[in-house]
Structure 1
Amino acid sequence: MSDTPLRRAVRRNRGAIARSVLGQSLYQVCETLVPVAIGVVIDRAVAAGDPAALAVSLAGLAALFTVLTLSWRYGARAVVRAGEHEAHRLRVEVAGHALDPRSPDTGMGAGELLTVATTDADRTAQVLHPLTGGAGSLVGLAVAAAVLLGIDPLLGGGVLVGVPVLVAIVQGIGPVLTRRTADQQEALARAGGLAADLVRGLPALRGIGAEEHAAGRYASSSAAALRGALRAAVPLGLYQGATGLAGGLLLAAVAAAAGTAAGQGRISIGELVTVVGLAQFLTEPVREIGYATMHLARSKASSDRLERVLRAPFRLAAGEPGADGRTGAPGAAPVELKGVGGALGGLDLRVAPGEFLGVVCYDPADARALVDVLAARSPAAEHGGAYLVDGVPAEALGPERVRERVLVEPHDADLFEGTLAENVLTGAAPGADPWPALRAAAADEVVRTVPGGLQAPLTDRGTTLSGGQRQRLGLARALAADPPVLVLHDPTTAVDAVTEEAIAAGLRRLRHGACTVAVCSSPALLARADRVVAVAGGRAAAEGTHAGLAADDPDYAEAVLR
């Protein structure tokens, strides 16, 4: 049987579950004893007119309620604390897997993964609540049945038979609820993921006038989520109604039987009060058992979604740093591609130590494929050929080691919530000065214009900044990290020509003597490259300096000259 997130949540919190079950069970026992105590007080103190017995009885009731309150408090505290810690562990587990350098193939977008790591993680951890509450309710039912058997065997026997039958009847809705809840959460995650993606791309959508089309897509996705919620609400409403009806029927049946027994003289007035009180109490544990099953269904659906992410196969091999004993050949090229295919057409590319290489891809798809290979996002089995880092195959090093040597700054820079300085210095050495990188990326202007400077707070993904400002800060972050090999993919598409020229000069100055690859069509950057390689049809079609290619190669001139 597979070790699902649901089972791990239970196993990791066995101690807290045991403490909570003890507290919840004691609470239910005390709840059961309240009508018993009231019946005893009526028979032995009120009916007998004994003040001393009444005083003792009242003191006993006070003690009973004290134990009842404290047992509920500490039992609930144990499970709530464990549930919050477990939700945190699950969120970290899912986030760690989703961010694994080996690139798990979850088939989910960023927004949907975020929903799984938050909502589904929380709902999976909530499995602890119905387990402890349901266990305590079963104890309460057992004690109530024992008391009723002691008062009248027919009443006790009826409860022992009736309660399991009623619980079994309402459980029949459980599988339908689980299935529809899973469908609802899938639709909700898709809608949430689409919303996150649309918000992220809102400036671009406005730029091309596609807001109406995007709004239509979200309206359609949201409507699907609404239909899923309504489909799940039907069995949920039936479940809650059936649970309440079952408890009410049980109360009516027990009260009628008790009244008949009191009329026949089989039980006393105090016992009649006890039986009626217990019958009313019985609706609570029956309802709690019903709610427990409902919450278990939700937790099961969320656990299945978590497991889908955690069991997603990796696109890349695990690899271990230096697993084959090789740490790099002396004099080897920092980066070399040999016959890399897949989306490319058998590309050969060699970057010399300390070289500033420009790569112009006539087809944007070739540029994306090349960047994916260099970022170790494309498995060797998919592209064939060889990707060597310092003379060692990338698959032998493993993705983490490759990314320690080769930093690929994507075209769309992702900024996170925090200060501007924290965003720029992510990945930089401790105590690093951000200003050289900021000046080289022409991002010092951004620091001067935003209120607060380096300590200015940024929203998630930098939505308060313009596209050009985000791009410059992303470039500054990559430069501040000072990697051995820096790969830039169209780093200046969102800036004006003057700023682009400043960035080209700053990049050349700061990365002098370091290995840099610019996959772009920017004349300003290409003019400062030591060498330029033009890629057509997934292969190297031409090579030389920017000036030489622009003068001699019409295809190159058409691609880069503006």
Structure 2
Amino acid sequence: MQIRDLPYADPGEPDARSGPRFLLWLGRMQLGGQLKSLCWGLLHFLGIAALPYMVGTAVEAVIDRSGTRLALSGGLILLAGVAIAAGDTMLHRTAVTNWITAAARVQQLLARKTARLGAALTRRVAAGEVVAVSTGDVEKIGWFVEALSRFAAAALTVLAVCVGLVVYQPALGIVVAVGIPVLALAVLPLLPRATRRADLQREKAGRATELASDTVAGLRVLRGIGGEELFLERYRRASQEVRVAAVRSARMWAVISAVQVLLPGLLLIVLVWHGVHLAHEGRITVGELVTVYSAVMLLNYPLRHFEEIAMAYSFSRPSAKRAARVLSLQRTEAAGAAGPVDDRGTRGGARAAEDAGTTGGGGSAGSSESAGGREDTGSGEAAGGSQATGARQGSGGGEAIGRSERVGSGEAVGGSRGVGGSGTADRGESAGGRARADAGETSDSTRTADDQQTAVDRGTTDGEPTVVDRGTADGEQTAVSKGTADGEQAVVGTGRAVGKASAGAPDGVLAATPPAGDLYDPATGLLAPAGRLTAVVCGDPDAAGRLAERLGGHPAYTTDLPSVRLGGVPLDDLPLDTARTAVLVQDKDPVLLSGTLAALLDVPASGAVSPERALAAAQCGDVLAALVQGSTADDPMDAHLTERGRSLSGGQRQRLALARSLVTDPEALVLDEPTSAVDSHTEARIADGLRELRAGRTTVVFTSSPLLLDRADRVVFLHDGEVAAVGEHRELVVTHAAYRAVVTRETEEEHTGAEQHARAQDGSHDCGRADDPGHAHHSSHSDDPESGHSNRSGRTGRPGDRGQASGIPVRTIDIEETA
């Protein structure tokens, strides 16, 4: 392959089991270039090796006074010179081509692996190490590939010269044939020590690069806290350690180079002394002595390539090992399990992971009528541990969607939706107000004798589809959705295949499409129902970040955990692009690249959310004004952002990143502390905008802010890596001490004292005050827009900004109940 053909259409699948195996694989992939380089190298080295014979022939022609032989020898020397020049030129050209193409192949492999792993790469390999692998290590690997063909040509040339000398002049040829291998192998005892020193140098250089990368990334913070000189001194020490290691390594290679010069010199002295005695005795001619002497002299040149290949391998072996380590990383090492026994994931036990309306052994019913159609949501749970939920929407159905998800020993979710319906599966709007339906109209759950569980949800209105979800004890389930109107039908079979098929198409005919449905993590028991806003509270911020990455299908530190499931489909079983399209994760510190705002928001998206709507939902009005004010462009979309958005405040950067995520409009959006750097008033507006824009889409927000928690459809509290409580914020802050401690930073003693104080205040004031509906409503919604304080846990502010969120119970009376 030529340089002009780069990059490779497919760099191949490397053998990354070890460094030597990776080098061997790379050599095989470069076989064509290696053969070309070998041929030109043989022409070059054999031309050099032939010169002594031609010179010896010319000397004998002069002694014999033969002009013809002298002219012939001169012509052969001229041809040898042309061959040497042409071979050297093309050898250098092909060798450098091998170096560049090999380095390009490795860089393409690293780039592809980086794209596949995403943010998980820097969790497994330090950022500085990745930089070192993609720069210095690639260069050393390319050097070995380049030197390989030259060494092969040099080794074949040395072998040919030794055989030729034995045939040409056995008395001296035997000495050369014995001495040359000794010279070539004499440096072998020194190579292990040289390799160890080279490894140490490479290790210290990698640490220095990592330290430099981390220092540069945090330079702004270091300058702010006055730690710049401290880290500069650390880098100086690391740099000096690299220099000392490099000097020690260079000393060993200098010894090897000296041996490569000393031993051939000794061989040459012995050879000349022995040859002179043979010539004096008349056993050889002077021309033969000159030929053998010249051959041994010129063999020093190809012999130096033995030193080069040894040095190249010593430096490239640790580099190849590190490159192979990066290339061997996978998204996950463990496939998703069949499912947990119940909602606690793999840890066993009972845990509430469904809405408050779900009851064991049966189900309640609720419905709401709207102008667009009829919406029913049904759910039921069998006593045997099988839970089935069926949902119907719209009576004039033209599109039916069936979904089946098996969780544990038998949880299935089935749903069908008519085109004429309106609303979501969990909420419906009616003329009388908003109605929540958390239980179904009809749900039958039975367990058969062969340990199979069957959940059937049937509609009673003409035109509505019938959904049958069956789950078996081995973790498989079948979802069959049938509709009477023409439309599309989505079927999820065993939880591993997702697709769409037209109505009337044969069962099992599926097309590859991103899955839809509940987002479920079997390891923790976290369940985010489809189309709802779920807030997750976790006492450990690092654990929250890791869980957020797991929900997006990113590899975790521990790879023995089952895969997260979306709509019953393990994310690890999906193609990478499909998984990334279905679930988007925004971490705590999103990166803003330099460029215009329009370029920042020009991301792969569904097209359903415009940049203007996303910016409005993320409350970026002041950000747009600031960009226009600091730019020559009149349109804020044309305003230029500096690297990482350093010209903006932390809250402004966070809101732009949130707008970028909202533009993408994924099936499931996971946000990790998306409003940690904004003030409370802006945060409240962001919460409302997020809820409105993501209506009907699955959204998971990791936060401990009471403002966001109060606006979530459901709140999940994680403790010690497991779901500890599920409910609404105002319920959990009163009933769950651990949740209250995380959200309000209030200890149990402080909470008890606050309750006693509240009871004392109630006793000392008018008894009717607590029963005033207007007062109760005001107490439970006491956000003060003029306070300027934050309701977020960990911020300063009045504890009464949100009565129940502060840990003080406030009696709330429903006006409809009093009526």
TM-score exceeds 0.5: yes
* CA deviation profile, 1:362-420 (whole Å, cap 9, x unmatched): 54245324323322346698797995422445566587654432211011123557776
Would you say the 8 A contact 1:262–1:269 is kept in 2? yes
Matched-pair contact (CA < 8 Å) for 1:322–1:397: no
- The 8 Å contact of residues 359 and 535 in structure 1, kept in 2 or not, is answered as yes
Any stretches of 5+ residues in structure 1 without a counterpart? Answer: 342-346
Q: Does 1:544 align with 2:728?
A: yes
1:71 aligns with 2:87: yes
Given that 2:709 and 2:715 are in contact with CA atoms closer than 8 Å, whether structure 1 keeps it comes out as: no
Structure 2 CA distance, aligned partners of 1:90 and 1:384? Answer: 31
Preserved CA contact (<8 Å) 1:394 1:402:
yes
Q: Supply the AA of the counterpart residue of 1:304.
A: K
Q: 2:717 aligns with which of 517, 526, 535?
A: 535
Q: Are the counterparts in 2 of residues 337 and 385 from structure 1 also a CA contact under 8 Å?
A: no
Equivalent residue of 1:127, what SS?
A: helix
For residues 302 and 145 of structure 2, what CA distance do their matches in structure 1 show?
17
Distance in 1 (alpha carbons) for counterparts of 2:296 and 2:632: 67
Identify the match of residue 405 of structure 1 among 582, 587, 603: 582
Deviation at 1:140, TM superposition (A): 2.6
1:363-382 matched pairs, under 5 angstroms: 363-377=540-554
**2:498 pairs with 1:327:** yes
Q: Compute the displacement of 1:83 (Å).
A: 2.9
Q: What is the CA RMSD across the aligned residues, in angstroms?
A: 4.4
Q: 1:84, CA displacement in angstroms?
A: 2.0
CA distance in 1, matches of 2:260, 2:647: 50
Residue type at the aligned position of 1:480:
V
What is the CA distance between 1:483 and its match in structure 2? 0.9
Does the 8 A contact of 1:316 with 1:379 survive in 2? no
Whole-Å Cα distance in 1 between the matches of residues 266 and 559 of structure 2? 64
What residue in structure 2 maps to residue 108 of structure 1? 125
SS where residue 172 of structure 1 aligns? Answer: helix
Q: 1:367 to 1:324 in 2, by over 3 A?
A: closer
- 2:702 is matched with which residue: 512, 515, 519? 519
Deviation per residue, 1:30-73 (Å, 9 max, x gap): 011223333333443697384x7666654443332222122222
Q: What is the letter of the counterpart of residue 528 of structure 2?
A: R
Change (3 A) 1:183 1:351: same
Alignment pair present for 1:477 and 2:660 = yes
Could you say what secondary structure the match of 1:491 adopts? coil
Task: Report which structure shows greater RCO (CA 8 Å, sep ≥6).
Answer: 1
Aligned to 1:344: none
Amino acid at match of 2:728: G
Matched AA of 1:514: R
8 Å CA contact 2:536, 2:703 repeated in 1:
yes
Does the 8 Å contact 2:496/2:573 carry over to 1?
no
Is 1:20 aligned to residue 66 of structure 2? no
Q: What letter corresponds to residue 535 of structure 1 in structure 2?
A: F
SS of the residue 1:173 aligns to: helix
Give the alignment partner of residue 271 of structure 2, picking from 232, 254, 257. 254
Q: TM-score, normalised on structure 2?
A: 0.57
2:213 maps to 1:196:
yes
Shift of the 28–385 alpha-carbon distance from structure 1 to 2, 3 Å rule, reads closer
User: What letter matches 2:213 in structure 1?
Assistant: A
Match of 2:317 among 293, 300, 319: 300
Q: CA deviation at 1:168?
A: 1.5
| 1:11 CA displacement | 1.6
CA distance in 2, matches of 1:323, 1:189: 47
1:88 maps to which residue?
104
Of residues 672, 691, 696 in structure 2, which corresponds to 1:489? 672
- Tell me how far 1:338 sits from its aligned partner: 6.9
* CA spacing shift, 1:272–1:391, aligned 2, 3 Å: closer
Alignment partner of 1:176 is 2:193: yes
Counterparts in 2 of 1:372-521, with a 5 A limit? 372-377=549-554, 387-392=564-569, 394=571, 401-415=578-592, 422-428=599-605, 436-437=613-614, 440-441=617-618, 442=620, 444=624, 448=628, 449=630, 454=638, 467=650, 470-494=653-677, 507=690, 510-521=693-704
After TM superposition, the structure 1 stretch with the greater mean CA deviation from structure 2, 282-291 or 114-123, is 114-123
Give the distance between the partners of 1:382 and 1:149, measured in 2 at CA.
Answer: 62
Matches of residues 259-298 of structure 1 in structure 2 within 5 Å?
259-268=276-285, 270-298=287-315
Q: Which residue does the alignment assign to 1:240?
A: 257
8 A contact 2:605–2:666 mirrored in 1: no
**Structure 1 counterpart of 2:93, which letter?**
R
**Contact 1:356 / 1:516 at 8 angstroms: preserved in 2?**
yes
SS in structure 1 opposite 2:153? helix
Secondary structure at the aligned position of 1:407 is classed as: strand
What's the offset of the Cα at 1:230?
4.0
**Do the aligned partners of 1:323 and 1:396 also contact (CA within 8 Å) in 2?**
no
The amino acid of 1:389's aligned partner reads: L
Cα distance in 2, alignment partners of residues 12 and 472 from structure 1:
47
| TM-aligned CA distance change 1:130 to 1:365, over 3 Å | closer
TM (norm. structure 1) is 0.80
Q: 2: distance between equivalents of 1:507 and 1:314?
A: 30
Partner SS for 1:492: coil
Note the 1:28-67 alignment, pairs <5 A: 28-44=45-61, 48=65, 50=67, 57-67=73-83
Question: Amino acid of the residue matched to residue 73 of structure 1?
Answer: T
1:489/1:251 CA distance change after superposition, 3 Å: same
Deviation at 1:482, TM superposition (A): 1.8
Contact 2:102 2:145 in 1 (8 A): no
More helix by share: 1
Which digits, 9 at most, give the CA deviation of each residue in 1:242-287, with x for residues without a partner? 1122233233333444444555555555545444432321211222
CA contact (8 A) 1:348 1:540 kept: no
Looking at structure 2, the residues matched to 471 and 114 of structure 1 have their Cα atoms a distance apart, in angstroms, of 27
Gaps spanning 5+ residues in structure 2: where? 1-14, 338-491, 501-514, 746-791, 798-819
In structure 2, relative to structure 1, the CA distance for the partners of 1:252 and 1:477 (3 Å cut) is farther
User: 1:108-257 alignment to 2 at 5 Å?
Assistant: 108-149=125-166, 152-215=169-232, 217-219=234-236, 221-257=238-274
